[in-house]
Amino acid sequence: MQHAFWHDKWERGEIGFHQKDINAFLVRFAETAGLTDGKRVLVPLCGKSQDMTWLLQRGCEVIGVELNESAVQQYFAELGITPTVSDVDDFTCYQAPDITLYCGDILSITPKLLGDIDGVYDRAALVALPEDMRRAYVKTLKAAAPKAQHLLITFEYDQALHSGPPFSVTEAELIELYGSERLQPGLASEPLEGGLKGKVPAVESAWLVNK
């Protein structure tokens, strides 16, 4: 998936993936996944997700990574906070108390930039990437946040009915990506209300990926 694809989406305001409500699986499984008070939580491909605000309110420190600068700016504007902005390695870093958003390509993120990460919250991140990028993405996260437990949310549907993103990701692929020793049995699977894009029957699932 080319960067231009996402920049276009943000420029045109075609951000159907953005939820105004907090993700129900996050609320249900944050405790199970250890996304609790005092934990440092990485939110890859974070957009301007309100889920980050929910994590902040629970006492987590949030570190997000997002390609599109306008998304990052919109997030802070909507939060009503003026961040400090600096250039760090390949990223523009937006920072405020307990929240740092790195603007740039997730594939360039490093352990040095992230520091110790306790948990990863992945909603609409893995599934936003095509298959070849998913491998590189998981490899990057493994190297950048080696001690993190992940709460991962995926979609599964007939890929022939919709080209993606979001892409359909099966349990078999998750085992291949994360390893059977890390991927725990699914936490929950529910039909997506109204279907994907309002037409394709899909199942949304929550997973725990161990350290």
Q: 11: annotated binding-site residue? A: no
Nearer to ligand SAM, 129 or 183 (CB): 129
- Please report, to the nearest 10 degrees, the dihedral formed by the alpha carbons of residues 169, 16, 80, 76 taken in order: 50
Distance of closest approach, residue 123 Cβ to ligand SAM, in angstroms = 4
By beta carbon distance, the residue nearest ligand SAM is 47
Question: Which residues are near ligand SAM by CB under 6 A?
Answer: 6, 17-18, 45-47, 49, 65-68, 71, 105-107, 123-125, 128
Distance of closest approach, residue 52 Cβ to ligand SAM, in angstroms = 9
| Cβ partners under 8 Å of residue 100, min gap 6 | 62, 63, 64, 93, 94
Distance of closest approach, residue 102 Cβ to ligand SAM, in angstroms = 9
Distance of closest approach, residue 45 Cβ to ligand SAM, in angstroms = 3
Bridge partners for 207 per DSSP? 152
Nearer to ligand SAM, 21 or 181 (CB): 21
Nearer to ligand SAM, 2 or 180 (CB): 2
Q: What beta strand segments (E) does 37-187 contain?
A: 40-44, 61-66, 84-88, 91-96, 99-103, 119-123, 149-157
Q: 182: annotated binding-site residue? A: no
Q: 207: annotated binding-site residue? A: no
C-alpha–C-alpha distance, residues 26 and 70, integer Å:
25
C-alpha–C-alpha distance, residues 207 and 150, integer Å:
8
Distance of closest approach, residue 61 Cβ to ligand SAM, in angstroms = 18
What is the CA 72 to chain-centroid distance, rounded? 14
Query: What would the DSSP string read from start to end of 192-208?
Result: PTT-BTTTB-EEEEEEE
* Annotated binding-site ranges: 10, 45, 66, 123
* Annotated binding-site ranges for S-adenosyl-L-methionine: 10, 45, 66, 123
